[in-house]
Amino acid sequence: MIDVDLVLAIAHHLAVFTLVGLFAAEFALLRPGLSARGVSQLARVDAAYGGIAGVVIIIGILRVIFGTVGWEYYVGNHAFWGKMGAFLVMGLLAIPPTMAIRRWVKAGEGVADYLPPADEVSRNRRFLHLQAGVLLLIPIFAAMMARGYGN
């Protein structure tokens, strides 16, 4: 017999670790002196980051619905809503860099020596710093939930 709760937990953890890895790659790539080649790499990483964020959400919803503890546990848990709020804030903070990266890709089409404006790179890097700070809250809330806090 397949333990659906275990499979969903494993899939959720793998997706979250992949998300954090992609975030780290984006953080490393989005820096001063970003080249046209770097913009191309950054665009691919950013697209994967958005895609895997969707996977995290889908698997998370499946865990809430089909997990062993039942949806009632999650709906009434303040730590769960803190975690969801932090994930939402991360998503909102990801929008400006994604939009900038798309502009840079378009501006750099056919321009071998294209460099995104340094002030835009710096401004969008700040969004990544903010995301990193909010990201720290997610495992804190998850640990609280795992220990029954928040009810």
d(CA 86, CA 90): 6
What pLDDT, on the 0 to 100 scale, is given for residue 150? 85
Give residue-wise pLDDT tens across range 107-116.
999 888 899 9
Which three-class secondary structure state does DSSP give residue 104?
Answer: helix
Residue 51 contacts residue 3 (beta carbons within 8 Å): no
pTM of the prediction?
0.92
Give residue-wise pLDDT tens across range 14-48.
999 999 999 999 999 999 999 989 999 999 999 99
Instruction: Tell me, rounded to whole angstroms, the distance of Cα 25 from its chain centroid.
Output: 12
